[in-house]
Amino acid sequence: MSEVRTRIYDSAAAISVSNPPHGYMTHELVGELLRAFRAAERDPSVRTIIFTGANAGVFIQHYDLAELATLSRKLNARGDRYPEHAHTPEREMDVLFRRIEDSAKPVIAAINGNAMGFGCELALACDFRIAESGDHMLGQPEILVGLVPGAGGTQRLARVVGTACALELVVFGKRLSPAEALAKGLVHAVSEGSALELALEWASVLGRLSATAVAHAKRLVHEAGVTQLHEGLQKERALFVDTLASPEANECLSRAVQEGRDFRNV
């Protein structure tokens, strides 16, 4: 039975996905993920949101190929074609990924197993990615079934690992081990134990930082790749002053000065 569950750990909300036996993503599960994420976003006690798989060895295997095959048959029967300039409406998965990127709260993918296709695309939309060590694969292998990635697997991947690496992964459908994903810059860390446990450690650190500063930092860095430099610098100056004027910064700076600390030991 497929299921999306949310568990609260102090200031972190861990959203887990289960769809045995294969761990495929479905249209129904995407809707459940979006609702769970919105609920975690609205919860004022939650400072960090984590996505993980509920079953060992599977984060999200990939999107259910049977659903895609059914849709392909319908489109073929109608003779539909979609050139690159054609308008295609936003889907729930697009809304979910945009909400993750636009959220003021940091989002971590605790990749505890295979993450291909949609699974990798969900991880790419997150701010931080931790892959659990093991015999797991990450990547965008859609081309092996005649497709291109359709939910950010070309655009976000290229922004994360660079054009050359993204071309290799997408055009050849190459899948990476956790260690290879770390070497390529696809993930930030590989955990020897539970990816969720390491994600919760990171969430604990994030929970002690200024929520205002974390939200502003996330926004500025994400927008840097799509904003003109002068515009980005203007936003950075404005949000720097906004954090400087915040009660959190006032308290932290005053304490650091009183205790004679600097960035080496703050």
110-169 residue pLDDT tens: 999 999 999 999 999 999 999 999 999 999 999 999 999 999 999 999 999 999 999 999
Domain ranges of the chain: 3-207, 211-258
Q: Return the residue matching tokens 């690992």.
A: 161
The answer to whether the peptide bond before residue 106 is cis (omega within 30 degrees of 0) is no
Which CATH code of 3.40.50.300, 3.90.226.10, 3.90.190.20, 1.10.340.30 fits the domain covering 3-207?
Answer: 3.90.226.10
Residues with Cβ < 8 Å from 106, sequence gap 6 or more?
47, 48, 49, 127, 128, 203, 206, 214, 218
pTM for this predicted structure:
0.92
pLDDT digits (tens, 9 = 90+) for 21-64: 888 888 999 999 999 999 999 999 999 999 999 998 999 988 88
Backbone angles phi, psi at 144, to 5 degrees: -70, -15
